Structure 1
Amino acid sequence: MNDDQPEEWFRNSSSTVWGLLSMGAALAVIVIDAVTGWHPETTAAGLLFALVAYAAFIRTRVGVSKGDFVLHHLFSTVRFPMAALESVSVGRTLGAYAGGRTYVSGAVGRPLREAVKKKRDHKPLSNHADFIEERLNSLAQDARDRRRIKKDSDEQFALAEDVRRSWDWPLIAATAAVAVTFVVLLVL
């Protein structure tokens, strides 16, 4: 069911920067290698590093789209109705709870020091992770209210059974091809 829920995406603010820096470093290694005497295994390693950096830092995110809660992981996407989301908690990683299961994403998280400190002294909305946690919990409550579903009800648990996982086959194929090429070049 497509709710009138706004589309909203969240990611750790530093992940994009780290992803671009990592991919830039891989590109720099490839260019320097090409200029100083090309080694195919270095090019393959640089491409593999860039693909993994893209998957880990750029592709991973959490959000709401077309009435669904969406978790983009390295090579897959998990989605289920937003009204099925029981709660969201952000520690070192984001934990989303629905239908008795926990869905984890590293796209949003707190630094170790902050995650430990939060347990001792909780100040709501003191930073970006708090905002994301509060916002997703609020959006889940809004979705339940629109559908007139009570939290922890049988209807909510039934919605949680509509979990869909899709795989990013082009990215998987490209990463696998480059990884195999890299290993073959190292062995030869």
Structure 2
Amino acid sequence: MAHHDHPDHEVVEQFHPTSGRVTGWLTVVLAGAVVVAGLAYLDDGFPPWVLAAGLLVGVLAWAAMLRPALWATREHLVMRNLADTVHIRLAAVEEMAVRQVLAVRAADRRFVSTVVGRTWRKTLQSRHRPGGTDTGAALAPTEGMHYADFVENRLHDLVDTARSRAGVRPGSTEQLALPDAVRRQRDWLPVGLIAAAVVLLVVSFFL
């Protein structure tokens, strides 16, 4: 993650994944074991396509389950997803909710992060966030609080503060007119790795 000297780019909250990391690491380790075994026994008849498939599965597990991240700066909510990174201006957020994934609406578009989410049962049991703009609330998870609830409250606090600073109300014309509401950056490393693994898998069927 790149850090910038400008205070608006300083990370004020790094949100931890609520699920998927253990499965992701297990998948990467197992896929790595397949690749190592394939390289070691390739001359002994180990199927090349199995080696290539293991590589593809490992790359996909890393890109889809381990690479995604979520953090907030003073001015932006940043979602790093499988193949891109989205910077959403906090003051431009129109709606936001944590269900099975985090869903954010800004600039008349919907953006999703799989980093934070609730189970289906927790989603049904979750209650609406109380009103108010007390930016001192929910600065840290309280005892017994589900982490997804903390994330939702904290994000609402950050959004409320950013809206107040920008002098806009949710859904207002002024909010919709905010410049640079969303910036999406394509991340070529995972795209290139996935493409290379797919090509290798296809080629392996002809070896």
What band does the TM-score fall into relative to the shorter chain? 0.7 to 0.9
The runs of at least 4 aligned residues of structure 1 exceeding 6 Å deviation read none
Q: Which amino acid aligns with 1:49?
A: V
Q: Corresponding residue for 2:160?
A: 141
Q: CA deviation at 1:175?
A: 0.9
Q: CA deviation at 1:16?
A: 2.4
Q: Which amino acid aligns with 1:94?
A: L
Q: CA deviation at 1:6?
A: 4.2
2:112 paired residue among 93, 104, 114: 104
Structure 1 spans left out of the alignment, 5+ residues: none
Q: Corresponding residue for 2:38?
A: 33
C-alpha RMSD of the superposition: 2.5
CA distance in structure 1 between the aligned counterparts of 2:174 and 2:128, rounded to whole angstroms: 33
Q: CA deviation at 1:2?
A: 6.4
Retained in 2: the 8 A contact 1:80–1:160? no
Q: Secondary structure at the match of 2:171?
A: coil
Q: CA deviation at 1:43?
A: 2.1
- What are the superposed Cα offsets for residues 123-178 of structure 1, whole Å, 9 maximum, x if unpaired? 86730111111111111111122223333322221227632111111221121011
Taking a change above 3 Å as real, the CA distance of residues 15 and 152 of structure 1, as seen in their structure-2 partners, is: same
Taking a change above 3 Å as real, the CA distance of residues 135 and 5 of structure 1, as seen in their structure-2 partners, is: farther
Retained in 2: the 8 A contact 1:78–1:165? yes
1:45 corresponds to 2:53: yes
Matches within 5 A, 1:26-175: 26-36=31-41, 37=44, 38-65=46-73, 67-118=75-126, 122=127, 126-159=145-178, 162-175=181-194
Normalised by the size of structure 2, how large is the TM-score? 0.77
Structure 2 spans left out of the alignment, 5+ residues: 1-5, 130-140
Give the percent of matched residue pairs that are identical in Structure 1 and Structure 2.
Answer: 35
Q: CA deviation at 1:74?
A: 0.9
The count of corresponding residues between Structure 1 and Structure 2 is 185
Taking a change above 3 Å as real, the CA distance of residues 85 and 39 of structure 1, as seen in their structure-2 partners, is: same
Q: Secondary structure at the match of 2:184?
A: strand
